[in-house]
A and B are shown apart, each in its own frame.
Chain A
């Protein structure tokens, strides 16, 4: 069984890293380069896990998380959201969790930790 991960991220380096890391474990990673596209893709795909950057070019990740948790697609109310940020502002972690994210990770993204965080929600697809 293949699990679908949606990664909402505008930084192409991070996107490449995460796609390679999760692809190696058999996950299918879908890309969204901004918050609005992220919400649209989440509603369309209903992924198994959402990785969400906070500093996005349109609406920020907190707003994305809030809208996902209030979406008409009620599956999105419960899908695990992992916030990933460079935590450049005070209280990013608190705000991310308050907005509905389940886990907070700081950049740089350690690949083993990313695997562990994702596997906590959905099994490694490569096995």
Chain B
């Protein structure tokens, strides 16, 4: 049983019914946040019982938005490994350096988590056709979950999206429309198509539930660390669903009384120098990011000129006393090589960006040697072979 109660507008707090199809607040045009009856859950749930359940994201179903088991679309998402990085850690002077390696998710990336939740909820709400603009991996994940759940999938992606994303989407039966532009242009076109056809738009934060799937990364981390949160989390930030989702998870776990340590992690957003709207806004003190003109980076998942949830990302970074850093494509590709030959992990360029970001933070003295640091590798490097020389 889910403890889901309502949706609330991030800006005005207006509540919305979860039994109806909702997207974002029509008055403020701001994201809707999912709420649960955590006070009741606090008395009824035993955090240590979750470990005894079958592995995967849905073992946390009480804290996810889908009510009926038959609507929970499962492909093996979640419970990705948390790996200690002794070799990189020794070189960087960190004894507690870890990676949460999301490459073992279905379709090879963390996108599986968010789309598992969103497509499952769409199915529960009776939606039969879903549409998404994507930089690549979210499209592949949506295609897979839609296929499994019996929904029709329509995907708008840039024509220079990695070939793996295009092929994995098409083989799962999705209709793929390649566009001459970036994800922002794809979002505009998908939005227009959704309005015209009445299809459900699963764009990042333009529906409430993808962040719920992503938040489970935060629950897994806490459980894996014995209900103590790490000191620093370094996260590659495109749309920001994972960062926002995890920060929400930490708040929820505090309310549930599950955490052993009082402090939440300092959250770090890493973007590419060729598309760094959040980094620029964070350091300028802005509440919203400017649309990034001329976005370019090898990390296609970071080629997001403006996130619909930029104000939430910025608020969460600041609330966590976190940081934000941009890294060059050269540094990303170099970090990808280091991660592979020093630890045997073939990271996606977005994931590799976190290692490049960590190196800068150490140089700046922002990360201390004794701190527990978690990098997020959001996907497998196998989807980006054309970047490899």
- Residues of A bordering B, CB below 8 Å: 17, 85-94, 97, 103-113, 116-117
Contact = CB atoms under 8 A, between A and B. Distances in A.
Listed residue (B179, B287, B293, B311) with the most chain A CB atoms within 10 angstroms of its CB: B293
Given A108-B24, A108-B29, A112-B28, 18 more contacts: A87-B187, A88-B192, A89-B185, A89-B188, A90-B181, A90-B182, A90-B185, A93-B291, A94-B294, A104-B293, A106-B306, A108-B308, A110-B11, A110-B308, A111-B28, A111-B30, A112-B30, A117-B288
B179 to A, nearest CB: 8
B306 A110 contact: no
B357 interface: no
Given A88-B185, A93-B293, A111-B11, A116 B29 contact: no
Contacts of B28: 110-112
A106 B29 contact: no
A52 to B, nearest CB: 15
A91 B27 CA distance: 28
22 contacts: A17-B27, A87-B185, A87-B187, A88-B185, A88-B192, A89-B181, A89-B188, A90-B179, A93-B291, A93-B305, A94-B294, A97-B293, A103-B290, A105-B291, A110-B29, A110-B288, A111-B11, A111-B27, A111-B28, A112-B30, A113-B287, A113-B288
A112 B192 contact: no
A46 B141 CA distance: 50
* Closest A-B pairs by Cβ, 8 of them: A90-B181, A88-B188, A108-B29, A86-B188, A87-B188, A113-B288, A111-B28, A104-B291
B324 to A, nearest CB: 19
Contacts of A111: 11, 27-30
Contacts of A105: 291
A85 B189 CA distance: 11
Contacts of B305: 93
Nearest to A113: B288
Interface of B: 11, 24, 27-30, 179-182, 184-185, 187-189, 191-192, 206, 287-288, 290-291, 293-294, 305-306, 308, 311
Contacts of A108: 24, 29, 191, 206, 308
A86 B24 CA distance: 16
A86 B308 CA distance: 13
A106 B30 contact: no
A109 B293 CA distance: 18
Contacts of B179: 90
A93 B295 CA distance: 11
A103 B181 CA distance: 20
A17 B293 contact: no
Given A93-B293, A111-B28, A116 B188 contact: no
A33 to B, nearest CB: 19
Nearest to B28: A111
Contacts of A89: 181, 185, 188
B141 to A, nearest CB: 23
B184 to A, nearest CB: 5
Contacts of B306: 106
A106 B184 contact: yes
A98 to B, nearest CB: 10
Contacts of A104: 290-291, 293
Contact of A116 (B181, B189, B288, B294): B288
B292 to A, nearest CB: 8
A106 B291 contact: yes
Given A93-B293, A94-B293, A108-B24, A87 B11 contact: no
Q: Which of A104, A111, A113 has most B Cβ within 10 Å?
A: A113
Contacts of A109: 29
Contacts of A92: 185
B188 A106 contact: yes
Most B-side CB within 10 Å, residue of A87, A92, A112? A87
B240 to A, nearest CB: 14
Contacts of B182: 90
Contacts of B24: 108
A76 to B, nearest CB: 23
Contacts of B30: 110-112
A112 B188 CA distance: 20
Given A93-B305, A110-B29, A87 B311 contact: no
A110 B184 CA distance: 15
B291 A110 contact: no
B11 A112 contact: yes
Nearest to B25: A111
A90 B192 contact: no
Given A88-B185, A93-B293, A106-B306, A116 B287 contact: yes
